[in-house]
Amino acid sequence: MRRRANTLLVLTVVWVGVPVAYGSGETEPSAVAPAPSASLVIELTGMTSDEGPVVYAVWSGPEHWLEAGAIREGKVPVENGTGTITLAEMPYGEYAVSVYHDRNGNGRLDTGFFRIPKEPIGTSNDAKIRFGPPRYEDAVFVLDRPETTITIAVHKVF
């Protein structure tokens, strides 16, 4: 019985390690097409100063919205009160974007009493602030064509 178990173990190890060939000895190419991807252009408006960058984050779901977990993050300069973010190779799907104008360049969103932002902010779809941060469901949009452009108005909360 022990010899038979050892033989099965050896055969299993040898069988798993053998590459499978089809017909002419070459492997078949994958029939799975790559997922379509798009370019997302975000036009930023409304900044009253060119000092400091606009910091952005892109989410692909409501989990950790406006916290950690963004799929893309970065910053862009402000020129003449505007800025542009261009994100290439974004898979088709649903997304939401949030931005803030880091006017003092300290790398964080400055907040005051009740964590109300002191620096100008914006979200996709101009999602409204109602007794707390904007909801993901209000900011979500669909990326479903090769190039999509959205505009985000950056403004002070109060």
pLDDT tens-digit map of 4-54: 444 433 333 333 333 333 344 454 555 676 778 999 999 999 999 999 999
Tell me the per-residue pLDDT of 69-105, one tens digit each, with 9 for 90 and over: 999 999 999 999 999 999 999 999 999 999 999 999 9
Residue 12 lies in a domain: no
Q: Tally the domains of the chain.
A: 1
Q: Could you tell me the residue range of the domain that residue 146 belongs to?
A: 37-153
Q: Which two tokens stand for residue 89?
A: 């190779």
Q: What is the CATH number of the domain that holds 54?
A: 2.60.40
Tell me whether residue 15 is in a domain.
no
What is the pTM assigned to this prediction? Answer: 0.77
Q: Give a yes or no: residue 27 inside a domain.
A: no
- Please name the amino acid found at residue 6: N
pLDDT in tens, 140-154: 999 999 999 999 999
